[in-house]
């Protein structure tokens, strides 16, 4: 039997992959990759069979049971199986369902962490999720509920945290903002929306909960909603995507040269 690696592809930019993730892709025999994984990242799997198993809201998606079954079957045919997930596998990535399927089939697996969208957005904004005297608690949450899933009490946690990052929430932004205000957040609470974090086409919007209730966001890419006092607009030139991209490319060149 082969081994299955659940690998985090990071928020988008291929050069935010971990070294372990890149090396596994290079030696992979087969790769099952998410819809939001960058094509240049998938291309690192030069010798692998590549299978798209993406999930996108409002679009045709791969059934999770099919993915679970495919991983189990692939482990009986290939030595190195990579399940390439956007962001970090353990943050809203359905990793546990795949882990449970692999455990049930007695197949060896390993999880390789990746940079989750919340951290990429924070880095791009140049705004720390925590700040002395202002933010000591951080919440990662999603209001999205799948078919036949039990309602979660995400709102209580999101409203109580000093800094809250909401995944898969942009499509319901006005309703979410209103709910947070009903739960105790002030109308003037700052909000930063980051679309396509870490990519060249990244977009940022600064507003407040009150402003968000009156807006109709039109975003084409994945976005996170960042809520909390630390997210008041702070123009920091060195936080630009272009600057970070140059810095990462310089670092990568030095690593390759060394």
Q: Which residue has the tokens 């970070």?
A: 244
* CB count in 10 Å sphere of residue 186: 11
- Interstrand relation of 190-195 and 203-208 (parallel, antiparallel or unpaired): antiparallel
Of 34, 85, 88, 185, which one is the catalytic site residue? 34
Rounded to 10 degrees, what is the CA torsion of 196, 197, 201, 206? Answer: 90
CA distance 159 to 214: 20
CA distance 186 to 189: 5
Tell me 184's DSSP state: T
Terminal Cα-to-Cα distance of the chain (whole angstroms): 36
What secondary structure, in 3-state letters, does 23-73 show?
A: HHHHHCCEEEECCCCCHHHHCCCCCCEEEECCCCCCCCCCCHHHHHHHHHH
| Residue 153 falls in the annotated catalytic set | no
| Residue 55 falls in the annotated catalytic set | yes
Of 27, 55, 162, 229, which one is the catalytic site residue? 55
Provide the annotated active-site residues. Answer: 34, 55
């Amino acid at each position: 039997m082969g081994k299955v690696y659940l690998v985090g592809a990071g928020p988008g930019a291929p050069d935010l992959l971990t070294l372990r993730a890149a090396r596994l892709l290079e030696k992979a025999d087969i790769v099952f990759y998410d819809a939001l994984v960058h094509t240049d990242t998938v291309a690192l799997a030069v010798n692998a069979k590549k299978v798209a198993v993406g999930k996108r809201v409002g679009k045709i998606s791969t059934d999770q049971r099919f993915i679970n079954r495919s991983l189990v079957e692939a482990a009986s045919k290939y030595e190195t199986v990579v399940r390439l997930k956007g962001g970090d596998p353990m943050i809203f990535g359905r990793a546990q369902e795949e882990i449970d399927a692999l455990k049930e089939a007695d197949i060896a697996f390993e999880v390789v962490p990746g940079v989750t969208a919340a951290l990429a957005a924070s880095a791009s904004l140049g705004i720390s999720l925590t700040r002395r005297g202002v933010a000591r608690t951080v919440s990662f949450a999603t209001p999205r509920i799948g078919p036949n899933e039990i309602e979660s009490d995400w709102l209580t946690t999101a409203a109580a945290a000093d800094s809250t990052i909401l995944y898969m929430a942009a499509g319901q932004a006005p309703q979410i903002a209103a709910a947070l205000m009903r739960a105790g957040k002030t109308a003037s609470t700052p909000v930063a929306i980051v679309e396509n974090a870490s990519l060249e086409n990244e977009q940022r919007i600064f507003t407040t909960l009150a402003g968000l209730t009156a807006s109709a966001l039109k975003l084409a890419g994945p976005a996170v909603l960042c809520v909390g006092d630390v997210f008041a607009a702070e123009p920091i030139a060195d936080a630009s995507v272009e600057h970070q991209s140059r810095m990462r490319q310089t670092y990568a060149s030095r690593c390759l040269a060394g």
